[in-house]
């Protein structure tokens, strides 16, 4: 196992998979963040690893196993297609590396449970990258809700929809990206847990399944809080116009935000507050959620924080995804 990381030296990262998200967002954030150092990037093809290594100033590695075998790496970033996460996250933990994994950590509760247990047993940090949770805009919403701005909580709604991707995109394959529920639907589910608490239960769900590709292309999920019946109405899909939003409704008013899952670091969110006799817009400060999540992961590695609360939410999210898959009404198109 790699030697423990002290409080003072940067966490040394390796990456497995030359993913688009790594190129556009995560690796630029890692390079900018002084508490981490990017050591190596691995690809199944050396030419891809070299392109990434040239841009980000690190070592190209051919093959993921070769990267995991390096002893100059403390932590591994896993931006592979969703259906491959469980296997490679498990291998990285078994190799003694802390793991920063793209969402969804896995698509089955028992696999997530195994990985969380393995990380705990080995004293390693395991974090699922729901980077939106690390943006400061949600704390502004919390503050208003706690101050009574919308009265008592009655309901939450959220949508994440994107336009169709090219035919060869991972999301269009059941074996790799796994379709809209596991790649996109997990965001509004996680957002509902963020605002209503993790103990939500499934009320009902509809999945629109593309018969030819055998994947969900869109869907709708209703969750509810068993103790008081507060509901969450969630929509997702990859055959739409682009939308990422949420709204909290209360007994006296509503709060809503757009671009909640993927705001660029320069974007200033606009929070809308509406009541019977009042309508207001507040511009919130821009924030860099990719840099924040990388910094939060590094802090956990350096301080020995196991991020138990987030791990519990990863487990609950996987359980809800599994329930949706098992119980949704399916419409084949
Ligand atoms: N947190 C976020 O904001 C965010 C945003 C977008 C996506 N994501 C997540 O990030 C992950 C990657 O998404 P992406 O859009 O960046 O995907 P992508 O560009 O297709 O990259 C996936 C990488 O996985 C590797 N890979 C290994 N086996 C593969 C296989 N059988 N088929 C295809 N690729 C394979 C490839 O790297 P090599 O060829 O180099 O080996 C490929 O470049 C997904 O889990 C997605 O949900 C997260």
Q: How sure is the predictor about 4, in pLDDT bands with cuts at 50, 70 and 90?
A: low
Residue list, ligand 1 pocket, CB within 6 Å: 17-21, 43-45, 48, 79-82, 84, 102-103, 129, 131, 170, 176, 183
- 75 secondary structure, DSSP code: E
- In this model, does residue 6 exceed pLDDT 80? no
State pLDDT tens for residues 125-149.
999 999 999 999 999 999 999 999 9
Task: Return the residue whose CA atom lies nearest to atom 11 of ligand 1.
Answer: 79
The stretch 54-71 carries a mean pLDDT of 98
The stretch 108-125 carries a mean pLDDT of 97
Kindly report the backbone phi and psi dihedral angles of residue 219, in degrees, each rounded to the nearest multiple of 5, phi listed first.
-175, 170
**Ligand 1 centroid, distance to 45 Cα (angstroms):** 14
**Ligand 1 centroid, distance to 106 Cα (angstroms):** 14
- 4 secondary structure, DSSP code: P
State pLDDT tens for residues 154-195.
999 999 999 999 999 999 999 999 999 999 999 999 999 999
Q: Show Cβ contacts of residue 187 under 8 Å, excluding neighbours closer than 6 positions.
A: 103, 130, 132, 158, 160, 236, 244, 261
Q: What is the mean pLDDT of the chain?
A: 97
> Reduced to 3 states, what is the DSSP secondary structure of residue 160?
strand
pLDDT given at position 190 = 98
pLDDT given at position 91 = 98
Q: What six digits make up the tokens of 232?
A: 């969450």
pLDDT given at position 5 = 74
Q: How sure is the predictor about 8, in pLDDT bands with cuts at 50, 70 and 90?
A: confident
Q: How sure is the predictor about 7, in pLDDT bands with cuts at 50, 70 and 90?
A: low
pLDDT given at position 174 = 95
- In this model, does residue 22 exceed pLDDT 90? yes
- In this model, does residue 1 exceed pLDDT 60? no
55, 99, 170, 176: which to mutate for ligand 1, most atoms within 8 A of CB?
170
Short-list 322, 318, 326, 305, CA closest to 198:
318
Short-list 104, 106, 68, 103, CA closest to 86:
106
Q: Strand pairing partners for 330?
A: 207
24, 79, 105, 184: which to mutate for ligand 1, most atoms within 8 A of CB?
79
pTM of the model: 0.97
The stretch 197-204 carries a mean pLDDT of 97
Q: Show Cβ contacts of residue 311 under 8 Å, excluding neighbours closer than 6 positions.
A: 116, 119, 126
28 neighbors 77 (Cβ within 8 angstroms): no
pLDDT given at position 141 = 98
Kindly report the backbone phi and psi dihedral angles of residue 47, in degrees, each rounded to the nearest multiple of 5, phi listed first.
-65, -35
In which region does residue 290 sit, left (phi positive, over 0), alpha (psi from -120 to 50) or beta (all else)? alpha
- In this model, does residue 104 exceed pLDDT 80? yes
State pLDDT tens for residues 209-247.
999 999 999 999 999 999 999 999 999 999 999 999 999
Does the annotation count 103 as an active-site position? Answer: yes
Task: Return the residue whose CA atom lies nearest to atom 5 of ligand 1.
Answer: 21
- In this model, does residue 39 exceed pLDDT 60? yes
Say how many C-beta atoms besides its own lie within 10 A of residue 206's C-beta: 16
């Amino acid at each position: 196992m790699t030697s423990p990381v002290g409080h003072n030296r940067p966490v040394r990262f390796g990456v497995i998979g030359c993913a688009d998200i790594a190129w556009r967002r995560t690796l630029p954030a890692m390079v900018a963040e002084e508490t981490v150092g990017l050591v190596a990037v691995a690809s199944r093809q050396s030419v891809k690893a070299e392109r990434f290594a040239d841009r980000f100033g690190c070592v190209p590695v051919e093959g993921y196993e070769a990267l995991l075998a390096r002893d100059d790496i403390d932590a591994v970033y896993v931006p592979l297609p969703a259906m491959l996460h469980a296997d490679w996250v498990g291998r990285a933990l078994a190799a003694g590396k802390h793991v920063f994994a793209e969402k969804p950590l896995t698509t089955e509760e028992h696999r997530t449970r195994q990985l969380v247990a393995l990380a705990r047993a080995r004293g390693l940090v395991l974090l699922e990258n729901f980077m939106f949770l690390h943006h400061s805009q949600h704390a502004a919403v919390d503050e208003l809700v706690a101050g009574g701005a919308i009265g008592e909580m009655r309901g939450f709604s959220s949508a994440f929809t994107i336009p169709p991707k090219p035919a060869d995109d991972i999301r269009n394959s059941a074996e790799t990206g796994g379709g809209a529920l596991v790649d996109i639907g997990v965001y509004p589910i996680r957002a509902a847990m963020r605002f209503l608490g993790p103990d939500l239960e499934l009320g009902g769900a509809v999945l629109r399944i593309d018969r030819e590709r055998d994947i969900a292309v869109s869907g709708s999920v209703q969750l509810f809080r068993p103790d008081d019946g507060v509901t969450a109405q969630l929509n997702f899909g990859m055959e739409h116009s682009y939308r990422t939003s949420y709204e909290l409704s209360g007994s006296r008013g509503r709060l809503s935000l757009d671009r909640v899952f993927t705001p660029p670091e320069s974007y200033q969110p606009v929070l809308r507050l509406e009541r019977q006799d009042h309508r207001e817009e507040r511009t919130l400060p821009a924030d860099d959620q990719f840099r924040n999540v990388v910094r939060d992961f590094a802090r956990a590695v350096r301080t020995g924080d196991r991020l138990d609360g987030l791990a519990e939410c990863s487990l609950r999210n996987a359980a809800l995804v599994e329930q949706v898959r098992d119980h949704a009404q399916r419409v084949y198109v």
